[in-house]
Amino acid sequence: MTDCRKVFFGQLSQSSAAVDVHTEPCMASRPGVESDDDIVILAARRTPIGKAKRGMLKDTRPEDMLSTVFKALLEETKLDPRAIGDICVGNVLLPGAGALQARFGQFFSDIPETTPISAVNRQCSSGLQAVMNVAGDIAMGVCDIGIGAGVESMSQRSIGDGQGQELSPKVFDIQIAQDCLIPMGITSENVAERYGVDRKKQDAFSLLSQQRAATAASQGLFDAEIVPITTTVKDKNGDEKTVTVSKDEGIRPTTAEGLAKLRPAFKPGGTTTAGNSSQVSDGAAAVLLARRSAAKKLGLPVFGVIRSFAVVGVPPDVMGIGPAYAIPEALKKAGLTVDDIDIFEINEAFASQAVYCVEKLGIPFEKVNPKGGAIALGHPLGCTGSRQIATALHEMKRRGKRGYAVISMCIGTGMGAAAVIEYPGLKSHL
């Protein structure tokens, strides 16, 4: 077996001033070259994204959202659940990264107890990290087939829940450690001020996200990636009703004038508002992965190929700049450039940081989040990285040509993650 471990495990966290670490693409992951040891994606699906606290998924438990997407992967591929060698689920807000709920979701999906499962919390990149953990398992020979997933109910757990434990007093003696406690909205303001991303640019980017998402939804472009979920929701009186949710709830009519009227959300005189920030949301997504040789043996078509993955560290007080440093590392590992990429799915934690990253890297805006991003769709923290893979690959399939997508996001406490995924073309996915 060709040694691909350095693709998944060779990237250590780096400061933003030290991102020129030399890396080589793994021979088995060289773009355009097929190998039986390639880590391939067989399917990627997600639930609709619900509005936290107010939407139709507010009373749906994480394990029920997970079982919905797990079952969808199995139904789409007709895969025997016993063939799954490992599962990893990303989550941010649940205790223990939701390890217990992940196991429940597995059993709700009739995946046997002989399949092991783990949970991971790398904050906003947790859904992507879960996929890459399973890819690493496959590269290391731990298993041949696995599922990487992500889930978050921001209705049932809020940022800050369970974080009231006493902090080490050392935190307040070391500035960079103390910076990890800066609220995310203030890090957005820091990026805007430090790198000159004005309110006009932020609102224009946000308007485009809403417009693109609305257009995509109206044309049914999300339908192939979304798994409708039937669930129970309570009204304000506590009365329950059964609903089937099939559409994202965060997309809303938006105008430049409406965005301009919104007040700063995090500090007086600031530029970050509710309209140019990601929405708090509920949702789940899952990605089925395999070694190419295993996919061939089972006669399963290849939906995507993982070509590289990178994680970097950046200053915590401007954590949003992470993609600007992670994306070049992932591209270098894959032997590609910005010009080679067809779609950049960059998480829109805040318009300030998304605009900065896109401009710094010279990415054409028409390639960024062509169906809208988290400002319009929402950002269920642990789910987003897996959701982005589903969104990108289904859009690549719709276009029908072989090409490449980058999945990237900033990460709280000062990091960025990025992956390069190849869509092999329609002939490989028939």
Exposed, middle or buried, 180 (CB in 10 Å: 0-12/13-18/19+)?
Answer: middle
Catalytic residue among 4, 143, 410, 429: 410
Active site residue 22: no
- pLDDT level of residue 84 (50, 70, 90 thresholds): very high
pLDDT in tens, 32-43: 788 999 999 999
The tokens describing 201, both together, are: 């640019």
Active site residue 357: no
What confidence score (pLDDT) does residue 158 get?
Answer: 85
How far is Cα 298 from Cα 277, in angstroms, rounded to an integer? 43
- pLDDT level of residue 111 (50, 70, 90 thresholds): very high
pLDDT in tens, 149-166: 999 999 999 887 655 567
Query: Does residue 18 have a pLDDT over 70?
Result: no
Instruction: Provide mean pLDDT across the span 361-366.
Output: 97
Instruction: Provide mean pLDDT across the span 293-310.
Output: 97
What confidence score (pLDDT) does residue 163 get?
Answer: 55
Query: Does residue 7 have a pLDDT over 60?
Result: no
Query: Does residue 343 have a pLDDT over 50?
Result: yes
413: left (phi over 0), alpha (psi -120 to 50) or beta: left
Q: What percent of the chain has pLDDT over 70?
A: 91
pTM over 0.75: yes
- pLDDT level of residue 426 (50, 70, 90 thresholds): confident
Query: Does residue 8 have a pLDDT over 70?
Result: no
What confidence score (pLDDT) does residue 11 get?
Answer: 35
Q: Match 């690959």 to its residue by tokens.
A: 393
3-class DSSP assignment, residue 265: coil
What is the overall mean pLDDT for the chain?
92
How far is Cα 171 from Cα 316, in angstroms, rounded to an integer? 13
How far is Cα 269 from Cα 41, in angstroms, rounded to an integer? 46
pLDDT in tens, 178-210: 999 999 999 999 999 999 999 999 999 999 999
Q: Which domains does the chain have, with CATH numbers?
A: 39-158+169-420 (3.40.47.10)
What confidence score (pLDDT) does residue 165 get?
Answer: 65
Instruction: Provide mean pLDDT across the span 307-315.
Output: 98
Strand pairing class (403-411; 39-46): unpaired
What confidence score (pLDDT) does residue 167 get?
Answer: 87
pLDDT in tens, 206-236: 999 999 999 999 999 999 999 999 999 999 8
Active site residue 394: no
Query: Does residue 293 have a pLDDT over 80?
Result: yes
What confidence score (pLDDT) does residue 428 get?
Answer: 59
Instruction: Provide mean pLDDT across the span 369-397.
Output: 98
What confidence score (pLDDT) does residue 22 get?
Answer: 34
Catalytic residue among 4, 26, 88, 124: 124
Query: Does residue 313 have a pLDDT over 90?
Result: yes
Instruction: Provide mean pLDDT across the span 50-75.
Output: 98
Catalytic residue among 88, 379, 394, 429: 379
- Residue 277, beta-bridge partner list: 350
- pLDDT level of residue 99 (50, 70, 90 thresholds): very high
Between 252 and 429, the higher pLDDT residue: 252
32: left (phi over 0), alpha (psi -120 to 50) or beta: left
Instruction: Provide mean pLDDT across the span 68-88.
Output: 98
Instruction: Provide mean pLDDT across the span 271-296.
Output: 98
